[in-house]
Structure 1
């Protein structure tokens, strides 16, 4: 099968993908409403201790659970999926706000539209990320580092904590953003980037990750070093698909969206 032994086909000439990750997007939507868009860049930031940590809740079956949280709640060791009752028992002062997925989606779409100033090829990545195909665009902004720094700075000034990764494949850029925070990966260095990272860097399902860990494969590098055919038989072809996409052996399409209503950033 071609998924087991992919040919080292030619990479898209010069392709460069920027991944942006907003780890606190749900909380930032609320904090920007309460404190203003530039709250992060004010001299008073970080917020004083009297301002309660923010937790976003949603109903899961018959229980209210943490769907998202801000940095201060995360620093208290609260985690997504934890019951709200347990979180309140640990930290009674937390501020709990009901989730609004539609408002969060509108915000992310607005951020995507704002990024059109850098490239018209912008795609939504899940609930908290964006992909920008910046192939051939970076020189207009002083190069890759200058452009990435400008984007990070402008989002910070408007109240967003954003992490960025730039690479020749969406998978490598995604991993760089989430596990390094501000990383530019040269073409051909995808394997070196991924090798020491945990399995979640491969964007595989949690159950696949747990199965791999149960047999001692705990890093992307361990998966890369393992025989491919047994991996596919035991863990499914999607594992190798994700690995090959991240390494540039197989193409991964980034489908740009149509602009809706630009966010004033």
Structure 2
């Protein structure tokens, strides 16, 4: 009825504005808070949360203790809830919405669910009336019938749905975020508020995570800590490393840097009662033999510096170059943020006794120059660039690089030369096109050698 009619019939009627967006935001907030029980959590409709607690119940005193903990947590944040625990998500949903809830003993899902009304299938009104007129009042009545006539009358999805509700077929839930391969939890009996206590708990979690990674020859590229407050607020802090690592001391230093550089400081409120460390990005670490020989050549110091800058300034503030599979020099590299996972392409090996083939400083696009050559297809004898004439005393080349005809048909083949002028400056120049073609070939400078 309309609001005016309702107010005319009932004096003192209290009305509230329906805000679906606020309800949805509250449900997501509850889901974030209930992530303290399991990383496998998802919403169920507009008014439900479903948790996959496989392997987590022992942290709360088995299944009955888990139910009590969930209900106590809901009451603390002002919610009235009905809970059920079953072998499959569909069985738990049916029991909590159309039954009395509670814990279904292992192996008794079918026996308990059979007593539920036919409405637990949640079919449309037409199918519900057809099933009721056929004398089918409960799921047990439907379970006693052969599946072939039901599939022919109501579709093949009805028997499948019935089997899932009866607990005969298990389909896992799709969590709000995919759980990380490595997850370590710490439930605290007394909430903590001091930074030193938080860092101590993170160190303990990292020690456990390192053991897990070592057993699988893995290293972490990203480490995330979730802080669960008593009042239901959840905060996540992530640090990333340039390469896979199992160094707990280095990671805890990164967390200290990150916590100190947060734009919004970590507010414990009345305290954190649970911390969870996850390693969402892992990578295989090849074993390195140590001893007898000198320390392997590497960029450990540079990697540590990049990790510290990334933790302090944020992953988007620090960039690095990575190779790209392209033979064109201007497309052979790209700039990415430091925390991104390294691509499959690798830098080509370099001979330390030979001069570099590519300059560190390159121009994009290449800059045109005016040249004078002793031979049409030879290197330039001198060239003019930025109003300065350079006389060439040494030249090496050519290195021919063909055009990517499948990408840009108008591009031309290039002949690259490494040249040095009489003042010791070294340049990387090329000629685009060949003599005798139309249009005439042009010379460009593409980079400068240090």
For normalisation by structure 1, the TM-score amounts to: 0.63
Q: Deviation string for 1:122-175 (max 9, x for gaps)?
A: 011000101100000000111110111121122123221100000111111112
The alpha-carbon deviation at position 100 of structure 1 amounts to 1.1
Unaligned runs of 5+ in 2: 179-226, 233-450
Quote the residue 1:202 is aligned against. Answer: 121
Question: What aligned pairs does 1:106-185 form with structure 2 within 5 A after superposition?
Answer: 106-185=25-104
Is this contact kept in 2: 1:113–1:262, CA < 8 A? no
Q: For residues 236 and 262 of structure 1, do their structure 2 counterparts lie closer, same or farther at Cα, with a shift above 3 Å needed?
A: farther
SS at match of 1:153: helix
Match of 1:257 in 2: 176
Structure having the larger proportion of residues in strand: 2
**Matching residue within 174, 187, 190 for 2:109:** 190
Distance 2:11 2:4 in 1: 9
Q: Which runs of 5+ in 1 are unaligned?
A: 1-81
Q: Deviations over 1:193-242 (max 9, x none)?
A: 11121112223333322221122112111111112111111122222121
User: Residue 352 of structure 2 corresponds to which residue in structure 1?
Assistant: none
Q: Which has the higher contact order (CA 8 A, sep 6+)?
A: 1
What corresponds to 2:153 in structure 1? 234
SS at 1:250 equivalent: coil
- Give the whole-Å Cα distance in 2 for the aligned partners of 1:203 and 1:188: 24
Aligned counterparts of 2:67 and 2:30: Cα–Cα separation in 1? 15
Query: For residues 64-95 of structure 1, what are the alpha-carbon distances to aligned partners after superposition, in whole Å with 9 as ceiling and x for unaligned?
Result: xxxxxxxxxxxxxxxxxx65455445433222
Please give the secondary structure, in 2, of the residue aligned with 1:139. helix
Distance 1:85 1:175, change over 3 A: farther
Instruction: Mark the CA change 1:227 to 1:157 in structure 2 (over 3 Å): closer, same or farther.
Output: same
Cα pair 1:116 1:122 within 8 Å, conserved: yes
In the superposition, the TM-score normalised over structure 2's length comes to: 0.38
Counterpart Cα distance in 1 of 2:36 and 2:98: 26
Could you report, residue by residue, the CA deviation over 1:27-74 in whole angstroms, capped at 9, with x for unpaired residues? xxxxxxxxxxxxxxxxxxxxxxxxxxxxxxxxxxxxxxxxxxxxxxxx
Work out whether residues 202 and 243 of structure 1, in 8 Å CA contact, stay in contact via their aligned partners in 2. yes
Which residue matches 1:73? none
Which has the larger Rg? 2
Q: RMSD over aligned Cα, in angstroms?
A: 2.4
Aligned position for 1:75: none
* Aligned partners of 1:203 and 1:242 also within 8 Å: no
**1:88-99 → structure 2 map (5 Å cutoff):** 88-99=7-18
Per-residue CA shift, 1:88-112, capped at 9, x if unaligned?
Answer: 4543322222311111000000111
